[in-house]
Amino acid sequence: MKKSTFKSLFLATISTIVLASVVKAEERVVAMVNGVPVLESQVQANIGKSGDRQVALDKIIDDILLHQAMQDVKAPSIDPKALNAAVEQQLNHIAAANNLTLGQFAIALSNEGSSLNEFRQRIAKDVKKAWENQLQTMTRDAIRNKAIHESVDVEQARSEAWALGQKMLEEAKEKGSAQKITGKEYEVRHILLKLNPMLNDAQAKAELTKIRSDILAGKISFSDAALKYSKDYLSGANGGSLGYAFPETYAPQFAQTVVQSKQGVISAPFKTEFGWHILEVTGMRDGDLTAEAYAQKAYEHLVNSQLQDATKDWVKALRKKADIQYFNK
């Protein structure tokens, strides 16, 4: 009896040790993502039918990066007053569609065993849900755009642009297609606000008018305002500067405003296909700009190439600035 008891205790002890080893192995940290640990147990739980451990680990890392990015983006909130106004508008629309006043509609609902307040609550729930989905989409789009634009190495593109531009120019000369480019270039800086479901034309124009007034009043510099407000993230990070370029390289309304603006004077808000802008011409120059034009063309090619790569997998773009550490498997 004692021998049997001892054997049972021995087996139980061995089982406990083995189980503890398994649990310990599963709880092993296999990666760190900006200070957040990834456990082996998480990887095992996400492997699924494919059995591909690396795919599971990459998905966990991407989810962590996306969650962290969402924490960094201040998502717009739903204004209760705006929600109530939308609900009342919807109620009135439904009543009018049935050729009823709101009072008559309330009586009709009462005859069906419901009430106007209950109907209003159902509409409010639907409208709120639709707005929440819209805001979530806007937040994800903001994260996507931010990740894509932050992945672009502007300095690298600038450093490579001149050599590539010269190569493009030489190739054009060999083909007989090179053209001497002369004319006036404008150095421009701008601030862009893009339209979205929460920002219409009137609101964008009003916001830019306020930003322009604050700049003119000395409350904020143009550079700081561009960095803070502009949705053109590439130029915004450089004080809104677009550098020197020919007007023809811009959208028609933008080009027209550039040509018509006096140097050093901030334009009134105006709209293009990209959104609402204010701009300032900070410099002009004449001369043979063939080499510079080809360098600019090369720069745009390099930046667009980076943007295209990042757009194909924008979550991967989040990894470029992330601190990801892998530990021995």
Per-residue pLDDT tens digits for 153-192? 778 888 889 899 999 999 999 999 988 888 788 999 999 9
What CA–CA distance (Å, rounded) separates 245 from 185?
Answer: 5
What CA–CA distance (Å, rounded) separates 256 from 233?
Answer: 23
Please, which pLDDT band fits residue 12 given cuts at 50, 70 and 90? very low
The sign of the dihedral angle between the CA atoms of 230, 231, 232, 234 is positive
Residues near 218 by beta carbon (within 8 Å), at least 6 away in sequence: none
Q: Is 250 helix (H, G, I), strand (E, B) or coil?
A: coil
Please, which pLDDT band fits residue 239 given cuts at 50, 70 and 90? very high
Q: Which residue did the predictor score with more confidence, 300 or 26?
A: 300
Q: Is 243 helix (H, G, I), strand (E, B) or coil?
A: strand
Per-residue pLDDT tens digits for 64-94? 887 777 776 666 678 888 888 888 898 899 9
Looking at the predicted structure, is the pLDDT value of residue 326 above 50?
A: yes
Instruction: Using the structure block, give the residue that is written with the tokens 């990459």.
Output: 58
Task: Please give the pLDDT value at position 74.
Answer: 65
Task: Please give the pLDDT value at position 183.
Answer: 79
Where is average pLDDT lowest: 38-52, 80-94, 261-275, 300-314? 300-314
What CA–CA distance (Å, rounded) separates 183 from 254?
Answer: 18
Task: Please give the pLDDT value at position 11.
Answer: 43
Per-residue pLDDT tens digits for 117-161? 898 999 889 888 888 888 777 777 777 777 777 777 778 888 889
Average pLDDT, the chain: 84
